[in-house]
Amino acid sequence: MAGKLVKLLADLKESEAIAFVETALEKGTDAAELLEEAKEGMGIVGQRFSSGEYFIPDLVYSGEILKSVVQLLEPKLKGKQGADTKKLGKVIIATVAGDIHDIGKDLVVFLLDVNGFEVYDLGIDVPVQTIVDKLKETNSPVIGLSGFLTLAFDAMKETIDAIAAAGLRDKVKIMIGGGQIDDQVKNYTGADAYGKDAMEAVKLAKQWIGG
């Protein structure tokens, strides 16, 4: 059974993937195990996109499949946390101004949530001021900025500059993530770190907040 969901997601088989997850859950398969397979499948989708085998519509479609799968898994994953689990800390997540990609962002939001963080998901194409205002309102110690397009790098830099101008830069750790982000982009934007995937984002948040 192991590995089948990886292939179904990688091959963009929506109905088969959903049916497989439903059956697997009924048989008592661990939801966290299925989530790992789903992430692996998304990783293959990303590779196929990078190599030119898949295109933007395929990427968007894979995100829709993932959302459906995650909806099925979420109750089981959250159940494990216990009803009154204390939240580890606050994290603001946003896809920056000018970018409308939410696949990676949604996965980060979901994984942070099931790992016990209080997540403020500001959505896509989020103006700089909205992020600054949310930071003032919540005093969140961590912000995650997402962007898939190269134009997002400037928006990330502008957002981080605005946080500094508001006198809040030393109170918050900022991670960035998305398509083509590396150390060079991290240095350009002024972020503290970048996450190559959603699990890396969770690891950074735990490291910074001490969860």
CATH of the domain at 31: 1.10.1240.10
Q: What is the pTM assigned to this prediction?
A: 0.68
* Residues 6+ positions from 94 with CB-CB distance below 8 Å: 105, 121, 122, 123, 124, 126, 130, 131, 143, 144, 145, 146
Please report, for the domain that includes residue 132, its CATH number.
3.40.50.280
Within a 13 Å sphere around the CA of 103, how many CA atoms are in the beta-carbon half? 22
DSSP 8-state code for residue 169:
G
Are both 32 and 50 inside the same structural domain?
A: yes
Neighbours of 133 (CB within 10 A): 13
Burial of 87 (0-12, 13-18, 19+ CB in 10 A): middle
Domain boundary among 31, 58, 81: 81
Are both 28 and 120 inside the same structural domain?
A: no
Are both 142 and 171 inside the same structural domain?
A: yes
The domain tally of the chain equals: 2
DSSP-based three-state secondary structure for 200 = helix
Residue 67 pLDDT: 83
Domain boundary among 81, 109, 131: 81
pLDDT tens-place string over residues 47-63: 887 788 988 788 778 88
Domain boundary among 59, 81, 103: 81
With CA atoms as reference, report the closest residue to 38 among 82, 78, 72, 79.
Answer: 72
Are both 103 and 152 inside the same structural domain?
A: yes
pLDDT tens-place string over residues 120-166: 999 999 999 999 999 999 999 999 999 988 889 999 999 999 999 99
Are both 110 and 204 inside the same structural domain?
A: yes
Residue 70 pLDDT: 86
DSSP-based three-state secondary structure for 175 = strand
Are both 73 and 107 inside the same structural domain?
A: no
Neighbours of 6 (CB within 10 A): 19
Are both 195 and 98 inside the same structural domain?
A: yes
Supply the range of the domain harboring residue 77.
4-81
Average pLDDT over the chain, rounded to whole? 88
Are both 96 and 195 inside the same structural domain?
A: yes
Residue 21 pLDDT: 96
Region 182-206: what's the mean pLDDT? Answer: 91
Are both 115 and 198 inside the same structural domain?
A: yes
* Residues 6+ positions from 49 with CB-CB distance below 8 Å: 55, 56, 58, 59
User: How confident is residue 116, by pLDDT bands cut at 50, 70 and 90?
Assistant: confident
Are both 94 and 194 inside the same structural domain?
A: yes
Kindly state the tokens that stand for 117: 């963080």
Q: Distance between CA atoms of 193 and 186, rounded to whole angstroms?
A: 6
Are both 135 and 34 inside the same structural domain?
A: no
Residue 109 pLDDT: 86
Residues in the chain: 211
pLDDT tens-place string over residues 8-43: 999 999 999 999 999 999 999 999 889 889 888 887
More confident residue, 160 or 78: 160
Q: Distance between CA atoms of 111 and 104, rounded to whole angstroms?
A: 11
Region 169-195: what's the mean pLDDT? Answer: 93
